[in-house]
């Protein structure tokens, strides 16, 4: 395919990017942003009036983008007669702060990465628990990894079910398999970026919080455990070297895929099947997502993100929120979520033969499905990063030094 035509196709697939803005600082909102969020919550509630909170008000979703796919919205309307309104996140922590600021009165459904429900939303009464007799059987239909009681779906006392798992994957780095063999990349892991032979031959997808976690891995530091002063010093040295030696830094993964296509770089972080699957569907099978075989995170070298769908603790609960949470796990709905807005990603319901049989050989190849279980096994589950502010400051110092 001609590169210009290919670039246009890639950009159409990547028009919406639910991970693009997750690089915002996990420390939370500024005072101005927080006050703006409170004002927005009040305005939304006020302008809705009797219309927004009528019996048939729209089901309101604060979410990552697959749940905004028009096919999913239309199918819900056709099957139930219900309407949906939605807004795509800026970042997980920003949406947590929006709920804290009063927007529990605005939203019915929230879709966030795994630690937030257990660690913050439930303890602060921002989400409702789900009836276990109705929803726990859904976990029995997923891979063994999610066998109930699954940690991230439960409250810390293991008494309350907090949501339903759906999309999940690893997110580490990408290589050009014509230049770097995937097996070598798995074995070398994050040390590829420490290798001076690759200085000037890699790019950085600037999702800041993911970059912080990756640099921890490359520095031999568990990203989700407390850091010593020596850890912070090693992190700073690694961040300075990695940022300085990168040929390209961008928030656009399409640009990084094209840089590999054009021979400008041989690998990039952060990346995974999320950033490569659409390109692989176009025949670029040399874009290969890699999860290192080993690393400093309990012996694991990769990071596994898991999204949890939860019911917001709205003071006027939508009568169909539980129906919706169950409905999106059905084969037709789950297939759309997996393909949402052109971003092909695995869902936990793929363990069901009825759903799995719908994936073409090309789609499974695009997802590197033959390696999926291996990637998950070699990855530690995403969590909140202790001392993130200190790490972030060292990272931004390294990024500033590039210029």
DSSP output for 381-398: EP---TTHHHHHHHHHHH
Q: pLDDT digit string (tens) for 99-148?
A: 999 999 999 999 999 999 999 999 999 999 999 999 999 999 899 999 99
The H or E element that residue 207 is part of is none
Residue 146: per-residue pLDDT:
96
Instruction: State the Cα–Cα distance between residues 253 and 20, nearest whole angstrom.
Output: 9
pLDDT(1) > 90: no
Average pLDDT of the segment spanning 309-318: 97
Residue 261: per-residue pLDDT:
95
- With beta carbons less than 8 A apart as the criterion, state whether 325 and 135 touch: yes
Average pLDDT of the segment spanning 218-237: 98
One CATH from 3.40.190.10, 3.40.462.10, 3.10.110.10, 3.40.50.970 for 16-167+306-369 = 3.40.190.10
pLDDT(72) > 50: yes
Helix, strand or coil for residue 296?
Answer: coil
Average pLDDT of the segment spanning 289-312: 98
pLDDT(223) > 50: yes
Average pLDDT of the segment spanning 23-51: 38
Per-residue pLDDT band for 341 (boundaries 50, 70, 90) equals confident
Looking at residue 147, the DSSP 8-state letter turns out to be P
Residues of the chain with CATH 3.40.190.10: 16-167+306-369, 170-302+382-402
The domain over range 170-302+382-402 is classified in CATH as 3.40.190.10: yes
- With beta carbons less than 8 A apart as the criterion, state whether 107 and 61 touch: yes
Residue 55: per-residue pLDDT:
53
Structure tokens at 177: 């398999």
- With beta carbons less than 8 A apart as the criterion, state whether 108 and 59 touch: yes
Residue 403: per-residue pLDDT:
75
| Distance between first and last Cα of the chain | 35
Helix, strand or coil for residue 59?
Answer: strand
Average pLDDT of the segment spanning 41-56: 43
Residue 12: per-residue pLDDT:
53
Residue 31: per-residue pLDDT:
32
Residue entry with tokens 């409702």: 128
Q: pLDDT digit string (tens) for 240-277?
A: 999 999 999 999 999 999 999 999 999 999 999 999 99
Exposed, middle or buried: residue 156 (CB in 10 Å: 0-12, 13-18, 19+)? exposed
């Amino acid at each position: 395919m001609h590169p210009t035509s290919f670039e246009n196709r890639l950009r159409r697939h990547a028009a919406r990017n639910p991970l693009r803005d997750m690089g915002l600082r996990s420390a939370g909102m500024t005072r101005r942003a927080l006050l703006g969020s409170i004002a927005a919550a009040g305005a939304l509630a006020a302008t809705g009036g009797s219309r927004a909170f009528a019996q048939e008000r729209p089901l309101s979703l604060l979410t990552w983008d697959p749940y905004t796919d028009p096919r999913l919205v239309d199918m819900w309307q056709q099957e139930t007669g219900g309407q949906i309104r939605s807004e795509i996140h800026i970042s997980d922590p920003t949406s947590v702060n929006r709920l804290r600021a009063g927007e529990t009165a605005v939203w019915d459904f929230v879709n966030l990465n795994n630690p937030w429900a257990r660690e913050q939303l439930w303890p602060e009464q921002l989400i409702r628990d789900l009836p276990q007799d109705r929803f726990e059987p859904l976990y029995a239909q997923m891979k063994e990894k999610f066998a109930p009681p699954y940690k991230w779906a439960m409250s810390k006392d293991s008494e309350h079910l907090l949501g339903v798992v759906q999309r999940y994957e690893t997110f580490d780095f990408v290589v050009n398999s014509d230049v770097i063999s995937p097996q070598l990349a798995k074995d070398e892991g994050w040390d590829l970026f420490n290798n001076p032979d690759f200085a000037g031959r890699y790019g950085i997808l600037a999702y800041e919080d993911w970059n912080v976690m990756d640099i921890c891995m490359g520095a031999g530091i568990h990203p989700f455990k407390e850091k010593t002063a020596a850890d912070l010093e090693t992190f700073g040295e690694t961040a300075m070297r990695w940022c300085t030696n990168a040929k390209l830094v961008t928030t656009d993964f399409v640009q990084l895929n094209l840089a590999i296509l054009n021979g400008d770089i041989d690998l990039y972080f952060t990346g995974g099947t999320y950033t490569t699957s659409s390109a692989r569907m176009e025949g670029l099978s040399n874009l290969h997502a890699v999860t290192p075989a080993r690393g400093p995170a309990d012996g694991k070298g990769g990071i596994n993100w898991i999204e949890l769908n939860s019911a917001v603790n709205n003071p006027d609960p939508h009568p169909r929120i539980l129906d919706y949470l169950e409905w999106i796990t059905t084969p037709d709905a789950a297939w759309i979520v997996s393909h949402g807005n052109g971003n092909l990603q695995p869902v936990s319901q793929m363990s069901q033969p009825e759903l799995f049989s719908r994936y073409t050989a090309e789609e499974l190849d695009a997802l590197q499905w033959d390696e999926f279980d291996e990637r998950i096994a070699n990855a530690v589950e995403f969590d909140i990063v202790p001392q993130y502010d200190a790490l972030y400051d060292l990272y931004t110092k390294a990024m500033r030094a590039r210029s």
